[in-house]
């Protein structure tokens, strides 16, 4: 069966991307990064491939982790689920396989709603979210697909839906961040961990 | 938990669409259609919502079933899986939630590859399919997104990949069919059966 | 004169498409289909090429006829002219030569307005139709060009213009149908009967 | 019959556009322009509405006539029919009703091929023109729809098809000219003379 | 230094375009055109390359000058700066290097605002112009990018912003004109005079 | 003179964005950040507004600086000028005023070619760069405008032009980065320092 053999092959492949960049074995990483990777194993059950892919260069890996953790886990008016919802809507507009698999799972998991992640992946307009969240997702979609047009009118729509200027920064920054990672992942053909697919489906 | 309550609400809703069209109880259907619906229950485990939605009008329901069954189950050079792959790629281009959920599940099920359906939903270019299948999917995508440009050059690409003129008709007809159903489903906000989501995930 | 020679060549060509599919002589068709084709000759003056093209496969031909006749000739709030207007607007968006020629003629004929068919072919926004019809055509155009966005807001615009939910189904179904046939016709390079061009011009 | 009454109304309307600009009676025009208009009546059978529309300002009218006559009737490697073919393909891309009606008729008339004008209006890719003409039309279409991308590669395609640098200037200039007039006609809702519709149909 | 050598090369090149069209030395031009070119030298400091490029054909050169001078320098409700603003916004949408350099400089010069020209080149939505001017620029942008859609609704937006029907003609005509010249300049790879770059920067 | 008064107003404005986020006076920043800002003053002559804007949150500011400095100033096969060229081409596709002004100046400055920055801002296809650089810029443009399509074929074009897999990562990462910052800048209406405009023009 080809799919099975494909999965097995991925497991032994050195890099999760199509680029030939030598990735260090985890034991050769500096202690703090090794510890961070071990923590991922413990909390998530595996090391997300994006971190593995970035490990060819410590500086880049640290910069990525710092920005990601601030935006997705730091203080914000947005709940963590809302930030993941933005991640999926942006990645859907850009059709980024890696980010849709990883963050689609996060939305399914955090929301406890197996259909919500699918809706955001497929067409966020069908999702029954609050008006406030819908405004947030429409803004993220618009800023992704027609960035030159997301000006004062778009900000006013967010304010009208109840978002503060501080939240607008975060919505814009998270939207921007996934417009970055989507492009890096697609340009390098980064493949997500197979474990995401079966999770949070019921 | 909102998602649960949402599922429960859907289960008691009369119509799977946003249109207020009175749908007959199954027992009031003509015997042959009732039998067909019962057969769906038996084989699939439930009645696909699209059939339920169409049941407000017998003539339309019969025409839909006849065309669907011929294209997706009748004789063709294309395997049934290949036809489902086209269904998903077309529905992805059109971002049709109903068709992506239903036919994405079919691809996962028929291929035994839980990731393949996701790849076709998210970005068919990352799927590791045969050259012949890739040509088929590229044609379906092109005919969907820029129909005016899918002429002789596009047909030659299919022929070069090994498809006969008879197969080209089928690829075009199936691509056309889902361009029809995608629009009907989105325009009526047709919701897929919840059962699809958890199936064929491992 | 090149056009004349071109017409003559078409007249002797076996198939109205670019695909090499053997088409049966009419006398070899089953009696009911032969009778249907004869009726076309009688009523229209010729057999529309789309039916000739479909005749390589009886099942497909019957399914096409059944769906076409229901949508375009069956009961509906939409007049037959309105259905033809949708056919032309959809085909204009998709730039389908076959359907524009055939259904453009139908609009010219049914409306008695030689300019109306041309307006719908060229840019439906310049046509002086009723507000109700304009809403119908705008919906069909939008559902054709940006299907993912034709949701509740678009349905409300139709309802506001006076269309019932039952009519919305028909508008969506006819729009969907021509999105199917446009793609089949373009992908097979189906040529319309030359007779359409000169008709209903005054 | 609405279409008839519509035609009659147009005949008595003062301006062929939606703008309220006072147009002088023909007898008040300077002798040379009056003579030019009379010549149009004689040769074409009517005064093209674009000239009528421009007559609110003599300087603009003269500038338009000078540029039009040089491009469409002056010396060039392109035949007059080829220039009209460009006019139609550009106007089709821009969906300009006025120019499609007027220049579509010119293509039908000059070619003696009632279908050729329709093909260029509806989808120039289906027209059976020479390779040289196809290259010319593809260039005009590309320069119209994605002007920023029509650079050296596009010029080389024209040269390869047999066009000189002098011809490339003319193809670009005619394409540019109709990109101008299309926008002026659409922005002012300029209506073409009804007489065009029935002409050159057989 | 490559840029310097590049500038020097341009200075000795016979044509400012990529087309091999023999351009006459200025002394061989008819006296009135020679005088016009000398006047450019005197007023602008150099002969704009577009005039040099057009000089291969007197008739075309005269037609271009006549139309340009009427639209950009003749009577109009629009100030000369406003007309240059339209030129830049249209050329930005079409990404025409020649016109952006030449008319961007004109906006910087006429407005005395070194940033305004840059804003219009880069994204006119960020420019702090009057509501009336913003409506004018939005119309020009819309008529350029989606010409088929710039109908009555678009005209009403201009009227609401205070523009007369006479002004609407001029806005449409200037927008159309630069849609023409942008295409001619890009299709011939016309290069602007280097002198524009450094001017009006403070 | 309106432009002058506009400049003066900007100088006294508290925030360089349209968001009401309280920005700390520089003396209240932690010593290392204060030192970094002072270094900017010294080296550039002013503090780039993007850093000022980010200063409402130290964590975000540090993460931005770390990623920016690694990508634009760290080790890479790409020269610093080449990285700035990508920044401009990406920002041109997204029409980001802030980034075009700031990085357009950097290209003018680093290349010593006042026209090169303008070409990349307006239409990178007209710039006379090396084949290797053209491949890099075409990839960045494609990854920006159609991210879903930038796969193996696009990577092969880069490899063929002489870029290593390590360089492909950097090209993708820098392209991604400016797709992020473009969106943050546009969504917050971030204005660039006025000093950029006049610099490096000769």
Q: What digits encode the pLDDT tens for the residues B29-57?
A: 999 999 999 999 999 999 999 999 999 99
Distance of CA A90 to the CA centre of its chain: 9
Report the residue from C4, C97, C128 with minimal CB separation from D126. Answer: C97
Residue F133 distance to chain D (closest CA, Å): 17
Residue E11 pLDDT: 40
The H or E element containing residue F8 is helix F2-12
Alpha carbon distance B107, B117 (integer Å): 5
pLDDT digits (tens, 9 = 90+) for B87-121: 999 999 999 999 999 999 999 999 999 999 999 99
Cα B119 from Cα C134, distance rounded (Å): 39
- D7/C54: higher pLDDT: C54
* pLDDT at res. A14: 65
Cβ C94 vs Cβ C186: under 8 Å: yes
F54: CB partners within 8 A, 6+ apart: F60, F61, F64
For C198, D94, E7, E89, F190, the CA distances from F53, given in Å and listed in that order, are 67, 43, 39, 28, 8
pTM, two decimal places = 0.94
pLDDT greater than 90 at residue D166 = yes
Cβ-Cβ contacts under 8 Å, B148 against chain D:
123, 125
Residues 6+ apart with CB under 8 A from C131: C161
What residue ranges of chain A have pLDDT lower than 70?
A: 1-14
How large is the average pLDDT for residues C55-78?
98
Helix, strand, coil percentages for chain A (3-state, nearest 5): 70, 0, 30
Q: How far apart are CA A59 and CA E62, in angstroms?
A: 62
Q: Which of B9-23, C104-118, E164-178 has the lowest mean pLDDT?
A: B9-23
Encode chain E (202 residues) as per-residue pLDDT tens digits: 333 334 434 344 468 999 999 999 999 999 999 999 999 999 999 999 999 999 999 999 999 999 999 999 999 999 999 999 999 999 999 999 999 999 999 999 999 999 999 999 999 999 999 999 999 999 999 999 999 999 999 999 999 999 999 999 999 999 999 999 999 999 999 999 999 999 999 8
Task: Return the pLDDT at B14.
Answer: 66
User: What per-residue confidence (pLDDT) applies to B202?
Assistant: 86
* A122 vs B100, B114, B201: nearest CB: B100
Q: pLDDT per residue over D5-54, tens digit each? A: 334 343 334 689 999 999 999 999 999 999 999 999 999 999 999 999 99
Residue C10 has pLDDT above 70, yes or no: no
- The span from the CA of E190 to the CA of E201, in Å, is 23
Nearest to A199 by CA among A88, A81, A79, A103: A103
* DSSP conformation class of D202: -
Sort out which chain D residues have CB atoms less than 8 A from E63's CB and list them.
63, 66-67, 70
CA B78, B84, B88, B89: dihedral to nearest 10 degrees?
-10
Q: Are D30 and D1 in contact (CB under 8 A)?
A: no
Angle between helical axes of E58-73 and E31-44 (0-180°, round to 10): 40
Which of E148, E149, E152 is most worth mutating to test chain C (most C CB atoms within 10 A of its CB)?
Answer: E148
Subunits adjacent to chain A (3 or more Cβ pairs under 8 Å): B, C, E, F
pLDDT tens digit sequence for B126-173 = 999 999 999 999 999 999 999 999 999 999 999 999 999 999 999 999
Q: Do chains A and D touch (3 or more CB pairs under 8 A)?
A: no
Residues of B with CB under 8 A from a CB of A: 1-4, 6-7, 92, 95-97, 100-101, 111-116, 118-119, 121-123, 126, 128, 186, 189, 191, 194, 197-198, 201-202
Q: What is the pLDDT of residue D79?
A: 98
The full length of chain C comes to: 202
> Mean of the per-residue pLDDT values for chain D?
93
pLDDT of C143 over the 60 cut? yes
Across C154-158, E171-175, F2-6, F69-73, least confident range: F2-6
Give buried/exposed letters for D56-72 (b at 16+ CB in 10 A, else e). Answer: bbeebbbbbbbbbebbb
The contacts of residue F83 (CB under 8 Å, 6+ apart) are F71, F72, F76, F170, F174
- B and E interact (at least 3 Cβ pairs within 8 A): no
Judge D/F contact: 3 or more CB pairs < 8 A.
Answer: yes
Q: Give CA angle at D160 (D154, D162), nearest 5°.
A: 115
> Which residue numbers of F have CB closer than 8 Å to E's CBs?
1-4, 6-7, 92, 95-97, 100-101, 111-116, 118-119, 121-123, 126, 128, 186, 189, 191, 194, 197-198, 201-202
Output DSSP code: residue A169.
H
Residue keyed to tokens 């008016």: A77
For an interface test with E, give the residue of A142, A148, A153, A156 to mutate (most E CBs within 10 A). Answer: A148
Opening angle at CA C59, ends C56 and C62, nearest 5 = 100
Chain F hits for B126, Cβ within 8 Å: 151
3-state secondary structure chain D: CHHHHHHHHHHHCCCCCCCCCCCCCHHHCCHHHHHHHHHHHHHHCCCCHHHHHHCCCHHHHHHHHHHHHHHHHCCCCCCHHHHHHHHHHHHHHHCCHHHHHHHHHHHHHHHCCHHHHHHHHHCHHHCCCCHHHHHHHHHHHHHHHCHHHCCHHHHHHHHHCCCCHHHHHHHHHHHHHHHHHHHHHHHCCCCCCHHHCCCCCC
For D122, name the nearest residue in chain B, comparing CA atoms only: B148
Distance from CA of D184 to the nearest CA of E (A): 5
Chain A residues contacting E via beta carbons under 8 Å: 148-149, 151
pLDDT of residue A202: 86
What is the C-alpha separation between F49 and F58, in angstroms, rounded? 15
Whole-number pLDDT of residue B190: 98
Give yes or no for a contact between E91 and E80, defined as CB atoms under 8 angstroms apart: no
Phi, psi of B48 (to 5 degrees): -55, 135
Cα separation, C13 vs C16, whole angstroms = 7
């Amino acid at each position: 069966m080809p799919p099975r053999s494909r999965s097995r092959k991925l497991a032994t492949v050195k890099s999760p991307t199509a680029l030939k960049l030598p990735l260090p074995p985890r034991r050769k990483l500096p202690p703090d990064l090794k510890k961070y990777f071990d923590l991922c194993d413990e909390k998530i059950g595996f090391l997300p491939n994006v971190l593995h892919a970035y490990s060819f260069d410590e500086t880049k890996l640290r910069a990525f982790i710092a920005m990601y953790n601030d935006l997705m886990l730091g203080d914000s008016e947005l709940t963590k689920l809302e930030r993941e919802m933005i991640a999926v809507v942006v990645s859907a507009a850009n059709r980024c396989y890696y980010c849709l698999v990883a963050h689609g799972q996060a939305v399914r998991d955090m929301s406890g709603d197996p259909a919500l992640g699918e809706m955001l992946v497929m067409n966020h307009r069908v999702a029954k979210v609050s008006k406030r969240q819908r405004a947030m997702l429409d803004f993220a979609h618009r800023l992704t697909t027609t960035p030159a047009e997301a000006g004062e009118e778009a900000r006013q729509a967010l304010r009208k839906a109840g978002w503060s200027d501080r939240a607008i920064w975060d919505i814009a920054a998270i939207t921007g961040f996934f417009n970055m990672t989507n492009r890096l992942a697609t340009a390098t053909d980064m493949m997500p961990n197979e474990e995401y697919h079966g999770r949070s489906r019921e």
